[in-house]
């Protein structure tokens, strides 16, 4: 049987002795560090680390380890989490008419590339919009919205999120702007995919805008959602080089591919506890 494995993430003001104190605490409980990544941000003067650990004989005393980490955390002013990697995170996806990102997430989830419990799909379009997609037993919630019903609809969205127990909300081309109130409730646990290599063309028909301006690169950005539209901490970005031969339809096609892979990478890294907030930025310990 494989040994239970845990992942420890932490951040605190940088000072000497952090690594030694954490490593000693793990050692004192018989823990075995399998992987360690760390980063000292000279600008914010904060220290970040991600550590995976197990116990050679499957006898790691987790309560004692947590108590030890609590002591170290108090000493260094540390924010930390310790998670059993076998426990799957609960994720809910919000989507509108464009379903390419949703289809990709479903595919990777079924393959096991995204180790999560998909606890719901919410859309402002009816189920028939996605009749070619197999949702299996994933609950689907059709919550239509208009300008007049936006607040009531967001109330229902928030209810579904809470009742599902979702730890993360993924906006997979959900073409509705979240209110400041809902964005605040989802702070740090809502990821959006934006159809440009930010900053870029905003509003409707972005690829047509890009074509009209003769751009040579298109891209996509996955970021945390904040009240400032498309200004949240960036997790991942990617681009494709294009030329004068490409039509707007070519850009749309290539853009869909970029959006899919950027969102899936950001989601995968979040599930693996590789994304740590750093003010208006993120620290991403890539695998």
Please name which of 186, 171, 192, 187 lies closest in space to residue 121, comparing C-alpha atoms: 171
Residues 6+ apart with CB under 8 A from 33: 23, 26, 51, 52, 53
Contacts of 27 (CB under 8 A, 6+ apart): none
The whole-angstrom separation of Cα 142 and Cα 165 is 18
Only one residue has tokens 């109130």, namely 181
Decide if 286 contacts 274 (C-beta within 8 A).
yes
Do the beta carbons of residue 31 and residue 69 sit within 8 Å? Answer: no
Cα 287 to Cα 272: distance, rounded to the nearest angstrom: 9
Distance CA 142, CA 153 (A): 10
Of 84, 137, 180, 230, which is the active-site residue?
Answer: 230
CB burial readout 148-178, b (16+ within 10 A) else e: eeeeebbeebeebbeebebbbbbbbbbeeeb
230 counts as catalytic:
yes
Helix 18-28 vs helix 62-76: crossing angle, to nearest 10: 160
Distance CA 126, CA 96 (A): 9
Q: Give just the sign of the alpha carbon dihedral 249, 252, 255, 256.
A: negative
Catalytic annotation, residues: 230
């Amino acid at each position: 049987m494989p040994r239970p494995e845990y992942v420890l993430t932490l951040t605190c003001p940088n000072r000497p002795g952090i690594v030694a104190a954490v490593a000693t605490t793990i050692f004192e409980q018989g823990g075995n560090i399998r992987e360690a990544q760390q980063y000292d941000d000279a600008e914010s003067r904060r220290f970040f680390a991600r550590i995976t650990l197990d116990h050679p004989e499957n006898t790691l005393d987790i309560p004692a380890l947590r108590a030890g980490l609590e002591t170290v955390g108090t000493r260094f002013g540390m924010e930390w989490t310790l998670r059993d990697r076998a426990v799957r995170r609960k994720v809910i996806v919000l989507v509108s008419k464009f379903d390419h990102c949703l289809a990709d997430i479903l595919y990777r989830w079924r393959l096991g590339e995204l180790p999560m419990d998909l606890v719901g799909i919410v859309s402002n379009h009816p189920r028939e919009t996605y009749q070619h997609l197999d949702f299996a037993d994933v609950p689907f919630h059709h919550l239509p919205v208009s300008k007049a019903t936006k607040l009531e609809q967001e109330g229902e969205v928030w209810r579904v999120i809470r009742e599902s127990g979702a730890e993360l909300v993924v906006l997979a081309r959900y073409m509705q702007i979240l209110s400041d109130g809902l964005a605040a409730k989802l702070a740090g646990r809502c990821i959006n995919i934006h159809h440009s290599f930010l900053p870029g063309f905003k509003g409707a028909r972005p690829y047509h805008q890009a074509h009209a301006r003769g751009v040579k690169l298109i891209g996509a950005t996955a970021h945390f959602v904040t009240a400032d539209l498309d200004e949240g901490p960036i997790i991942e970005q990617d681009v494709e080089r294009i030329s004068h031969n490409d039509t707007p339809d070519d850009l749309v096609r290539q853009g869909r591919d970029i959006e899919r892979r950027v969102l899936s990478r950001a989601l995968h890294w979040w599930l693996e506890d590789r994304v740590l907030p750093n003010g208006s930025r993120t620290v991403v310990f890539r695998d």
